[in-house]
Structure 1
Amino acid sequence: MTSRIPVEPQAVLDLLKTQFDVPADTGVDTEFADLALDSLVLIELGVILTKQCGVDVTGDELATAGTAAKAAELLSDRGAHSTPSAR
């Protein structure tokens, strides 16, 4: 049996900072809307997270989640097998 590894919110935030140039002072509870992340960015983020975590997540689901912390919770709830890392 594979043990579930919760996805850390900071790992999602680090991915946003390195891949999408969000401000360095952004926190895990900063709303994606406040960062002006458009639907294309969220789709791209969803593709990266899907590949890295082994669970499907869409841009729409990330938009609904709204923050790195809630996105990490969503991934963890779906049984993500690892935490995302910056490429």
Structure 2
Amino acid sequence: MIEDGEYTLNDNRAAGAFELSFVDEVVATLHYTLDIETMEIEFAYCEIEETLMAAHHCRELLRLATDAVARQGLTVAVTCPVALKVTDGLSA
């Protein structure tokens, strides 16, 4: 579990998902698949509650999940359309 301000990221390995909580309420989930042989994690599908803060929650979810994955020595492949849109916006 990673805490950053009002955000908490939980790696729910049984579900294959990172769950982002904001003020103790799950607001976004990033589903992933993990390839142990290649040490790569694929961010495949993102579920996010449609609110005015949805874009911000999504950026925080991707930032925290990417940091958590990097600390584990894994590489990231992003195939989730929502995540691709957010990461493209962050690099622009």
The alignment's TM-score, normalised by the length of structure 2, stands at 0.31
Which structure shows the bigger proportion of residues in strand conformation?
2
The structure with the larger Rg is 2
